[in-house]
Chain A
Amino acid sequence: MAQVLSAVGLDCERDDRHLFRDLSFDVSGGEILHLTGPNGSGKTTLLRRLVGISSVVEGVVTWFPNSPESTGEPCEKIWYIAHRPAVTLLQSPLENMAYALALHGIRVAESVVWDALDTVGLRGFEDVPSHQLSAGQQRRVALARLYLPLEPDRVRAWVLDEPLTALDVEATERLKARIIEFARAGGSVIMTSHHGLDSETVRTLALGGGS
Chain B
Amino acid sequence: MWQAFVRWFHKWSSPKWFYTMSQPWSFWLGWAATLIIATALVWGLLFAPVERLQGNSYRIIFIHVPSAFLSQAIYAAIAVLGLVGLVWKMKLAFFVAKQCIPVGASMALLALVTGAIWGKPTWGTWWEWDARLTSMLVLLLLYLGLWALHNAMERPESGDRAAAILALVGVVNLPIIKFSVEWWNTLHQPATLKFTEAPPMHTSMLIPFLMAILGFYLASMAWVLMRTRLEILQRERKSRWVEDELNRFSEGQ
Contact = CB atoms under 8 A, between A and B. Distances in A.
Contacts of B158: 55
B238 A16 contact: yes
B243 interface: no
Interface string B149-162: 00000010110010
Nearest to A18: B238
A55 B238 contact: no
Interface string A42-67: 00000000000001100000000000
Interface in B105-120: none
A56 B158 CA distance: 9
Interface in B156-175: 157-158, 161
Classify chain B's interface size. Answer: under 10
A55 B161 CA distance: 11
Contacts of A55: 157-158, 161
A124 B65 CA distance: 73
A56 B157 CA distance: 9
Interface residues of A, number: 3
A14 to B, nearest CB: 9
Contacts of B155: 56
Overall SS of chain A's interface: loop
Nearest to A16: B238
B158 to A, nearest CB: 7
Interface in A10-65: 16, 55-56
Contacts of B238: 16
A16 B238 CA distance: 7
Nearest to B155: A56
B246 to A, nearest CB: 15
Interface in B128-168: 155, 157-158, 161
B55 to A, nearest CB: 58
B22 to A, nearest CB: 25
A16 B155 CA distance: 12
Contacts of A16: 238
Nearest to A17: B238
A16 B243 CA distance: 14
Nearest to A13: B238
Nearest to A14: B155
A55 B157 CA distance: 9
A68 B170 CA distance: 40
Interface string B228-242: 000000000010000
A55 B158 CA distance: 9
A55 B86 CA distance: 12
A56 B160 CA distance: 13
A16 B158 CA distance: 16
B143 to A, nearest CB: 25
Nearest to B158: A55
A57 to B, nearest CB: 12
A60 to B, nearest CB: 14
Contacts of A56: 155, 157
B199 to A, nearest CB: 49
A100 B212 CA distance: 61
A56 B153 CA distance: 14
Interface string B203-244: 000000000000000000000000000000000001000000
Interface of B: 155, 157-158, 161, 238
6 contacts: A16-B238, A55-B157, A55-B158, A55-B161, A56-B155, A56-B157
Task: Report, nearest first, the 4 A-B pairs whose CB atoms are least far apart.
Answer: A16-B238, A55-B157, A55-B158, A56-B155
